[in-house]
Structure 1
């Protein structure tokens, strides 16, 4: 009989560590093997903490195909499905198959440097392009190969539907139902004067279009790229291409889950 392995990822807060210990005991009592690493036999990843711990787990395990479920011991917990007092219910519903998978798209930035190197970064929530040391940036932006604008401001954020309720929402972007496959481009403190003209609202793009970014010469050096919670700084960027990635994230959802009910409970 194949081992049923469940991987647990957690942050280091006292309540998370306590929840992890209790969950591991309950899982082992139900016939599962508990691991802290992603084994070849792992069938589920449990992330304990808030949304930050959840995103950390996705990047730590490099966007695996096996599903995730979150236990919220943090604050907002938008991705998290269950609370620490629902561990027994979670195990029962999981063993009896009373759940479905919700699939989230991811976004990818490919950075091309002046010395002909390229680097890829994938995000579940968003990818942010901004200047190093909080400097303003000037970015020549194209959509599907057609030039659109010369953006000037603090930067731009490209979010997935999953990330529309995160930083994007704080910037005034719109909430997008995750069943829609689109990218949202939201400006960060755009300049709109007689000298600089930039879009001041979000732009929604279909999944088959890519976003091209060429920094102006004076801002080409010292560009910071953030994918979810991870930051990378480049000093010799030639151009950046942002598009949907072929990687997806599968979340375990129980029968009573509804996206808009979750939105209402977290924001209203």
Structure 2
């Protein structure tokens, strides 16, 4: 175990009263056990504890640029699919953490390079990146997989989900639940139009981790595309192409050794 000077744990919480109170109690318990909890985020910490719901978990990773520090969540929200612990488990968590009774699991992220007529920008998604029509307009997208043309999609949009994100927006669209240990991407249509005039896939497509998904919009209205990553919307003028692939970033989530993905999936969804 590292010495006391390096036993630093960041606590991050949302602004709900229950989250702030849980954070206060956890800080007190950790300090009694010889840990140091800084007032501001420390990039040299051994662990991040995120208190809140799934939104707080996603926001913590985004706002801190996907740090190379394991993160564990305490659920004070609703579904809590990312969150490992409940507020009543603080003592158990500290005991098991000190014993090393945990594993770390890599999160496989998706990245998009978005090129407009003027420049290119990069965004990263933990759960997903979605391409949708602004003001509910129908999109027409030419989609290729590596060097193979896949389809001319028509509909509300497409979503590219990570294994972690398969149980999020992807699942509500009828996409497949994917074991997070798998390293792949999933392309899921959003309200596709499948008629004699338009031929779009109506089910999700699973692609290997080294694939590049290339999307070229056809515009009926300029600037009619929204890019949404983990619930955050971005608008870029005159997008010409979007390339999506698996990101090289691999933040780590800390799980107690009793964690089982499929048991959690049954608990949350069935």
Smaller-chain TM-score bracket: over 0.9
Instruction: Name stretches of at least 5 consecutive residues in structure 2 with no aligned partner.
Output: none
Residue 95 (structure 2) aligned to one of 74, 92, 95: 92
Give unmatched runs, 5+ long, in structure 1.
none
Question: Is 1:111 equivalent to 2:95 in the alignment?
Answer: no
Give the ranges of 4+ consecutive aligned residues of structure 1 lying more than 4 Å apart after TM superposition. Answer: none
Partner of 1:74: 77
Provide the rounded CA distance (Å) in 1 between the counterparts of 2:23 and 2:43.
Answer: 21
Of 183, 194, 197, 2:196 maps to: 194
Aligned mate of 2:21, from 18, 22, 33? 18
For 1:209 and 1:219, the matched residues in 2 are separated by 30
Q: 1:34 is matched with which residue: 26, 31, 37?
A: 37
Q: Quick one: distance in 1 between partners of 2:9 and 2:153?
A: 46
Query: 5 Å matches for 1:116-265?
Result: 117-219=119-221, 221-265=223-267
Give the whole-Å Cα distance in 2 for the aligned partners of 1:141 and 1:3. 48
Contact 2:43 2:67 (C-alpha < 8 Å) held by counterparts:
no
Query: In 1, distance between residues paired with 2:115 and 2:222?
Result: 12
Query: What is the Cα-based RMSD across aligned positions, in Å?
Result: 1.1
Partner of 2:50: 47
Q: What is the SS of the residue equivalent to 1:172? A: coil
- 1:49–1:113 distance in 2 versus 1, CA, 3 Å: same
* Change over 3 Å in CA distance of 1:266–1:56 after alignment to 2: same
What TM-score, normalized by structure 1, do the two folds share? 0.97
